Amino acid sequence: MTDRPQGFDTLAIHAGTAPDPATGARQVPIYQTTAYVFKDADHAARLFNLAEVGYIYSRLTNPTVMALANRVAALEGGAGAIACSSGHAAQIMALFPLMGPGKNIVASSRLYGGTITQFSQTIKRFGWSCKFVDTDDLGAVSKAIDKNTRALFCETIANPGGYITDIPALAKIADRKGIPLIVDNTTATPWLCKPIEMGATLVVHSATKYLTGNGTVTGGIVVDSGKFDWSASDKFPSLSQPEPAYHGLVFHPTLGNMAFTFHSIAIGLRDLGMTMNPQGAHYTLMGIETLGLRMERHVKNAQQVAEWLEKDPRVEYVTYAGLKSSPYAKRAKKIVPKGAGALFTFALKGGYDACVKLIDNVKLFSHVANLGDTRSLIIHSASTTHRQLSPEQQVAAGAPPNVVRLSIGIEDVADIIADLDQAMAKATA
Ligand SMILES: Cc1ncc(COP(=O)(O)O)c(C=O)c1O
């Protein structure tokens, strides 16, 4: 073996894992286990002091779950990662070390509807708040960041419209303001985009989507780049000052580029308990082995479906950023050069009523509130995933009432198009 860096597909199969040290099992075993026997009292104390890395209790770390976290860290080019019980849990876990009562985040107005609700409503109960801005307006982003802002948050490919975010431009602003950029890379996956290489500090995932890839798991991941200097200001006391929740340990710089990851395990998972289960981690590890192959087909199919839809006289517009006509086409070449993802919306002539009829008449597509499955999926975002938003927020998020969202699967593309064609015929008759 040489030290040359391994390619994406090699890492997707091997990173974070080795043959099981106890049995030699080649595949990562499901360690359906809660607690781990200490060698002696000194060993136990060293583990609790973070002086030695090892397993204590599965709310914190578990061998199968850590294999997944380490694999995703490798794929994203991060220093460390933690796996969580859902994508939404990962978002809270990413914010937890950074925030405190009275602190805020600045987030893109184009996000998954559930995230907009989490940020506009639920985090208020922790004393946190969020200001939403159009991240295409870099001046507005800069202006929104104030002395209490602790992070900037965006999605690489925004759900549901498939709009592409200018990650390097946002990273520059975050850098200038001394705050981390958090990128939700769920809809792109590291196969299409590696936000850390573009300047992101933290990457979050809903592993529920493409990482697992077949609708079997609810899970999330937080990856830390290990590059942010948490001690450069007094903005992040939980990381840079003695932490009362961990017998006064100063996580950064003591734990170097693993400070955020260790904090997330030792305090975040310990006290919030948003832990992924070993069975879920195992399914996601299986899914990731074929991530590159699947994403290649997802984007190829999505491009063909979007081009077919755009030419169809029954269609008003298609938001796929891979289309030459898209205002995001140029940016897509820079941010996601291998393809603009497989998630987008389109508007049918006939508005809301036609959309509903279309959804009721598809046969191959599944009408579900999910994305990133091998199966093609369809939903009317405004009345479902983005329902809790005001009409203005729905429009800003790219989910107006006259569009349907497609998550294009990896079936034969001719069958995907044929299904849309027959359902559109009925919807616009
Ligand atoms: C882009 C994006 N981020 C995060 C989430 C939340 O993930 P989960 O459903 O795993 O909590 C979703 C869910 O649809 C999503 O689409």
When pLDDT is averaged across residues 230-243 and rounded to a whole number, the result is 98
The angle that helices 291-311 and 278-289 make with each other, rounded to 10 degrees, is 70
Indicate the top mutation candidate among 115, 164, 368 to test ligand 1's pocket, ranked by most ligand atoms within 8 A of CB: 115
Establish whether residue 112 lines the binding site of ligand 1, counting it when its CB lies within 6 angstroms of any ligand atom.
Answer: yes
Expressed in angstroms and rounded, the spacing between residue 149 Cα and the centre of ligand 1 is 23
Expressed in angstroms and rounded, the spacing between residue 116 Cα and the centre of ligand 1 is 11
Assign 179 a pLDDT band (cuts: 50, 70, 90): very high
Residue 209 CA, closest ligand 1 atom number:
10
Q: How deeply is 278 buried, as exposed, middle or buried, from its count of CB atoms within 10 A (0-12, 13-18, 19+)?
A: buried
Of all protein residues, the one whose alpha carbon is nearest to atom 15 of ligand 1 is 112
Asked whether the beta carbons of 103 and 149 are under 8 A apart, the reply is yes
- Distances in Å between the alpha carbon of 48 and those of 31, 96, 246? 21, 21, 10
Length of the chain, please? 429
Asked whether the beta carbons of 424 and 363 are under 8 A apart, the reply is no
Expressed in angstroms and rounded, the spacing between residue 206 Cα and the centre of ligand 1 is 5
Expressed in angstroms and rounded, the spacing between residue 385 Cα and the centre of ligand 1 is 10
Asked whether the beta carbons of 204 and 94 are under 8 A apart, the reply is yes
Establish whether residue 155 lines the binding site of ligand 1, counting it when its CB lies within 6 angstroms of any ligand atom.
Answer: yes
267's tokens: 């305090």
Establish whether residue 206 lines the binding site of ligand 1, counting it when its CB lies within 6 angstroms of any ligand atom.
Answer: yes
Q: What are phi and psi of 425, to 5 degrees?
A: -60, -45
Expressed in angstroms and rounded, the spacing between residue 214 Cα and the centre of ligand 1 is 15
Write out pLDDT tens, residues 186-232. 999 999 999 999 999 999 999 999 999 999 999 999 999 999 999 99
Q: The domain 293-427 belongs to what CATH superfamily?
A: Aspartate Aminotransferase, domain 1 (3.90.1150.10)
Residue with tokens 């941010």: 335
Residue 372 CA, closest ligand 1 atom number:
16
**Of the given ranges (118-132, 308-322, 345-359, 410-424), which has the lowest mean pLDDT?**
345-359
Asked whether the beta carbons of 393 and 133 are under 8 A apart, the reply is no
Expressed in angstroms and rounded, the spacing between residue 247 Cα and the centre of ligand 1 is 34
Residue 90 CA, closest ligand 1 atom number:
11
Number of H helices, E strands in the chain: 18, 14
8's tokens: 């994406």
Residues above pLDDT 70, as percent of the chain: 100
**Domain assignments of the chain as residue spans, ordered by start:** 8-98+180-287, 293-427
Instruction: Report CA 108 to chain centroid distance, whole Å.
Output: 14
pLDDT (0 to 100) of residue 2: 63
Establish whether residue 373 lines the binding site of ligand 1, counting it when its CB lies within 6 angstroms of any ligand atom.
Answer: no
pLDDT (0 to 100) of residue 382: 85
293's tokens: 């192959």
The strand pair at 181-184 and 202-206 is best described as parallel
44's tokens: 């136990």
Write out pLDDT tens, residues 388-410. 888 898 888 888 989 999 999 99
Expressed in angstroms and rounded, the spacing between residue 403 Cα and the centre of ligand 1 is 20
Establish whether residue 419 lines the binding site of ligand 1, counting it when its CB lies within 6 angstroms of any ligand atom.
Answer: no
**How many CB atoms are closer than 10 A to CB 84?**
32
Establish whether residue 184 lines the binding site of ligand 1, counting it when its CB lies within 6 angstroms of any ligand atom.
Answer: yes
CA distance 154 to 146: 17
Of all protein residues, the one whose alpha carbon is nearest to atom 16 of ligand 1 is 112
The angle that helices 413-427 and 351-361 make with each other, rounded to 10 degrees, is 130
Asked whether the beta carbons of 33 and 57 are under 8 A apart, the reply is no
Assess if CATH 3.40.640.10 describes domain 8-98+180-287: yes
Spatial strand order in the sheet of 403-407: 315-318, 343-348, 403-407, 377-379, 366-367
When pLDDT is averaged across residues 104-124 and rounded to a whole number, the result is 97
Spatial strand order in the sheet of 104-108: 80-84, 220-224, 202-206, 181-184, 149-155, 104-108, 129-133
Establish whether residue 277 lines the binding site of ligand 1, counting it when its CB lies within 6 angstroms of any ligand atom.
Answer: no
Expressed in angstroms and rounded, the spacing between residue 408 Cα and the centre of ligand 1 is 17
What sign results for the dihedral spanned by CA atoms 346, 347, 352, 354?
Answer: negative
> What's the DSSP call for residue 79?
S
C-alpha atoms less than 13 angstroms from C-alpha of 357 in its C-beta half-sphere = 17
Residue 208 CA, closest ligand 1 atom number:
10
The angle that helices 113-120 and 87-95 make with each other, rounded to 10 degrees, is 40
Expressed in angstroms and rounded, the spacing between residue 32 Cα and the centre of ligand 1 is 26
Write out pLDDT tens, residues 11-50. 999 999 999 999 999 999 999 999 999 999 999 999 999 9
